Amino acid sequence: MSTARSAAILLAKELRSEFRTRELLSATIVFALVIVVLFSFAFDPTAAESRRYGPGLLWISFLFAGSLMLNPSFARERLNDTMDALRMAPISPFAILSAKMLANFIFMSLVEVVLVPVFSVLYNVSLSGVMVPLILVLVLGTIGLTVTGTVFSAISSHARLREVLLPLLLLPILTPLLIAAVEATASLLVEQPALDRTWVALLAGFDIVFLTASWLLCDYLIEE
Amino acid sequence: MKNFENLFAAWMVVWAVFFVYEVSIARRLSSLRQDIESLKQQMRGR
Amino acid sequence: MKVRYAATILVAGLIFFAGYAALFMAPDERTMHLIQRIFYFHVPSWMAMFTALSLAFIANIAYLATRKSKWDSWGVSAVELGVVCCTIGLATGPLWAKPVWGIWWTWDARLTTTFILWLLYIAYLLLRGLLDDPEKKATLSAVFGIFAFLDAPLVYVSNRLWRTQHPQPVILGASGSGLDPVIGKVLLLCVLAVMGVMLLVLIDRYRLEQLRQEFEELRMEYETLNLEPSSIAKERP
């Protein structure tokens, strides 16, 4: 079976099993909301401060919520021993990995679809006129987050303390992504919004580097 | 001059860190060698 | 054995001579005077760190390609040395900054990058600590090590771009002006001294790792033959 087809089938399985209960998705959305709300209690920002720190807040909440959400990706398989079944099936390791990456991307995007409007309402940040570039930034950032996050979920699923380990591994690696995404988003929320091309290029570069690395190293992630 | 204190502290930091690290390695090396010897003896004993 | 003694004596000599040169032979800097001499230990520790981490990257790739445990031993040893050198750099930096800038720390590009790299490679060591199976430990930490090394230039670039948009303290003369040839020569001497120390300690760390493996194999053999755990076997760090 070709990689693309097996990945598609696995993707369908991932989506089906999550949408059956939707518990991970809801928990992640709520967690991200909690961070967004806590920020206003902790910092009590003025309107100008909200616009200044908003992008940072948004991306921090995505990163933290994402670290939580990405854990079960591989941990679930380990619990139910379904990893062995996947390994023995005539599916390439990259198909397994990319199916999970795509599934996580979709889940994370759903979280963002809820969070971004909520954020714009709570902090009075207007998003009209910048939706398209904003979506581009969100997509590129989420790709980076889910690609690296899925890889590290695979790695940490073998280890003890995996819930703590995953953010510990993931967040330092993601600092370039965080900086780039925050700066790119910030450039869209100012008085004269203009998408900063440099940051978008950095985001794209980050995605390409880690997607390629994941592809090259996927065998070692999936093996016994 | 107070700057000399900082300079000296930096000098000490560099060598102290390497030194402490090397000492910890050397200690572990020698105790491991001991363990290997005892283990080999145990195996010969059986 | 003899090579090792010779190397140790050579490095000891280098340290002594480099220290003397840094403290007494190098010219006095106009604005910073004495404190500027930290630069003679500070810069070499970065270079040693970079060397160690590059060696680790090569070892990680070599392990995944060959599955020979010696590459895993080189990998963890090199990362540990890299973290040690990074710690030295991060510790000596503020000791220079306080008298010169008046502050212990600032989030400028280079400092932030280094701090992130420090965290990244500590995460590598933590990952190894939390993995029990030796083969998995070697494989997965090699993968993470590769990701970490690939991330390093991205961290540097993103911090550079970020910090050029914000005001920051100007670093005077710390980045080897190179105009004065004496400074260059003294710096080279100090780089050789610190690198020498780093490499010697690296080799010792590697030997420790190899010995540990030898012990584990022996212990396994004992337990298989005798079907009971050896009394010598204990958890060692």
Has residue C23 been placed in a domain? yes
CB contact at 8 A, A137 and A188: yes
CB contact under 8 A, C127 and A169: yes
**Minimal Cα–Cα distance from C149 to chain B, Å?**
23
Separation between Cα atoms, residue C57 and residue C153, nearest integer Å: 13
Rounded CA-CA distance A15/A24 in Å is 12
Instruction: Give the contacts of C39 (CB within 8 A, at least 6 positions apart).
Output: C96, C173, C174, C176, C187
* pTM of the predicted protein model: 0.89
Mean pLDDT of C125-146: 94
- The number of domains in chain C is 1
The pLDDT of residue A58: 93
Structure tokens at C99: 């008298």
With CB atoms and an 8 Å threshold, state whether C147 touches A183: no
Asked if residue A156 lies in contact with residue A169, where contact means CB atoms within 8 angstroms, the answer is yes
Structural domain boundaries enclosing C94: 2-226
C186 in a structural domain = yes
For the segment C99-131, what is each residue's pLDDT rounded down to a tens digit? Answer: 877 888 888 788 889 999 999 999 999 999 999
- In angstroms, the Cα distances linking C46 to C36, C108, C125 are 16, 16, 19
Q: How far apart are CA C174 and CA C182, in angstroms?
A: 15
pLDDT of amino acid C2:
80
| Four-residue CA torsion sign, A131, A137, A140, A142 | negative
Pair A186, C158: CB distance under 8 Å: no
Separation between Cα atoms, residue C192 and residue B16, nearest integer Å:
18
How many angstroms separate the CA of residue C17 from the nearest CA in chain B?
14
A63 neighbors A145 (Cβ within 8 angstroms): yes
pLDDT of residue C173: 43
Q: What's the token pair of residue B41?
A: 């003896």
One-letter amino acid for residue A204 of the chain: A
Residues in chain C closer than 8 A to A176 (CB atoms)? 151, 154-155, 157-159
Compare CB distances from B7 to C34, C214, C237 and report the shortest one's residue: C34
Q: Which one of C133, C140, C158 has the shortest CB-CB distance to A180?
A: C158
B3 to C205: CB separation less than 8 angstroms, yes or no: no
- Which of A70, A35, A68 is closest to A54 using CA atoms? A35
**Which tens digit of pLDDT belongs to each residue from C50-79?**
999 999 999 999 999 999 999 999 999 999
3-state secondary structure of A192: coil
Chain C partners (3+ C-beta pairs within 8 A):
A, B
CB contact under 8 A, B7 and C35: yes
Please tell me the least confidently modeled range out of A47-61, A106-120, C30-44, C222-236: C222-236
C174 pLDDT higher than 50: no
Residue C42: inside a domain:
yes
| DSSP per position, C47-103 | HHHHHHHHHHHHHHHHHHHH--HHHHHHHHHHHHHHHHHHHHHHHHHHHHHHHHHSS
User: A28-37, A70-79, C112-121, C135-144 — which is least confidently predicted?
Assistant: A70-79
The answer as to whether C236 is a domain residue is no
CB-based contact A165 C127, cutoff 8 Å: yes
